[in-house]
Amino acid sequence: MYQIDAFQYIYLLCIVPLLWVTYALLVRWKRKTQNSFARPELLELLSPNRSKFKPTFKIILLSLSIVSLVLGLMNPKIGTQLETVKREGVDIVFAMDVSRSMLAEDIAPNRIEKSKRLVSAIVNQLASDRGGIIAYAAQAVPQLPITTDYAAAKMFLQAINTDMLSSQGTALDSAIDLAGTFFDDEDQTNRVIFLISDGEDHSEEASNAASRAAKLGIKIFTFGVGTESGAPIPLKRNGIIESYKKDSDGEVVITKLNQNILQNIAASTGGIYQDGNNTQKVLDFVSEQLKAMDKKEFEAKKFVSFKDRFQAFLLAALIFLLIDLFLFETKTKWVQKLNLFNENEN
């Protein structure tokens, strides 16, 4: 098992192809200039010790040193020991609303981005709990199964947007039913759904779905994102607002936070509704609720004692640079005698 400390340095590898392009242009210019000065046969007589291979060999060494330096900056680590660790935690499923109403900008920058930041902040403060993610609009789709891999959770979280589902709406019942299937451990005493939405569900099935979840021992905590005064739903192209969503009568649709339905869902399962617009209050609330819950012990395998491996790459870069430094572009006498690169003409 390995991990990379600073993956962003990989973009520095672009220097290598740029170096080769520059070298190719330089060689072409030198040949053109030399040919305008004298014929190749005459140039060979004027500079008999000039090596044809070494300039290319030097650029190869320089490229290898750059690659080694970049890998050293990225600091690859290798896991040297695999351990089975015991954890105690709660299973949590984050159900995220990705309907078009979440594009409303009554909460900066908009409701969907606020929801993603809220979930990311909650994940950051989890210690040993397991989490999964689903996204829903008119239907619900799984994004990440129950896991302790918080890095993967945040990666999948970033990919969530309002364009991922073609059918629009806010089917809270579908989200609750799908989230209920995520809990694969029958011995888990605490099963929690964190439902993040503006609550704009015009069906009556959400309460029934909450009742079904309660029978399975699932507790739903709802977080409302948006304002009661509401805002229009922008229709953008290339990040620029072209117009706003309108109804069949041509009137601009104003989407508003529906706290009542979210409160009813939470109350049906013994959960609590919380205003999701204040991130810090949500974090304090989640921390308090999770501390009060019974924790289920489970096992998880993970690599420990990761060791830095950047030293080998830096040493390789130094060796390549030293070879390049002491390698001249003239022919080496003993190499010339061996004629390794066919530089001697019969």
Say whether both 151 and 16 belong to one domain: no
Say whether both 313 and 182 belong to one domain: no
Domain count of the chain? 2
Say whether both 278 and 333 belong to one domain: no
**Residue 54: is its pLDDT beyond 80?**
no
| Per-residue pLDDT tens over the stretch 131-164 | 999 999 888 999 999 888 888 899 999 989 988 8
In this structure, what CATH number is given to the domain that contains residue 150? 3.40.50.410
Say whether both 188 and 206 belong to one domain: yes
Say whether both 121 and 224 belong to one domain: yes
pTM for this predicted structure: 0.63
Give the separation between CA 117 and CA 115, rounded to whole angstroms: 5
Greater confidence, 336 or 298? Answer: 298
Say whether both 176 and 324 belong to one domain: no
How long, in residues, is the chain?
346
**Residue 341: is its pLDDT beyond 60?**
no
Tokens 């990225």: give the residue. 74
| Any domain includes 80 | no
Say whether both 103 and 194 belong to one domain: yes
Say whether both 127 and 222 belong to one domain: yes
Mean pLDDT score of the chain: 84
The strand order across the sheet containing 218-224 reads 140-147, 130-136, 91-97, 191-197, 218-224, 273-275
Between the alpha carbon of residue 68 and those of residues 34, 71, 326, the distances in Å are 35, 5, 19
pLDDT band per the 50, 70, 90 thresholds, residue 346: very low
| Per-residue pLDDT tens over the stretch 70-85 | 988 888 877 655 566 6
| Any domain includes 230 | yes
| Domain of residue 146, residue span | 85-301
Any idea which of 176-180, 182-186, 201-205 has the lowest mean pLDDT? 201-205
| Any domain includes 69 | yes
Greater confidence, 134 or 303? Answer: 134
Cis-peptide into 76, omega within 30 deg: no
| Per-residue pLDDT tens over the stretch 229-284 | 999 999 888 778 888 989 888 899 999 999 999 999 999 999 999 999 999 999 99
- How many C-beta atoms surround the C-beta of residue 247 within 10 A? 9
Say whether both 154 and 287 belong to one domain: yes
Say whether both 327 and 276 belong to one domain: no
Say whether both 47 and 10 belong to one domain: yes
Tokens 């060999």: give the residue. 57
According to the model, what pLDDT value does residue 105 have?
92
| Any domain includes 344 | no
Nearest to 176 by CA among 117, 218, 132, 119: 218
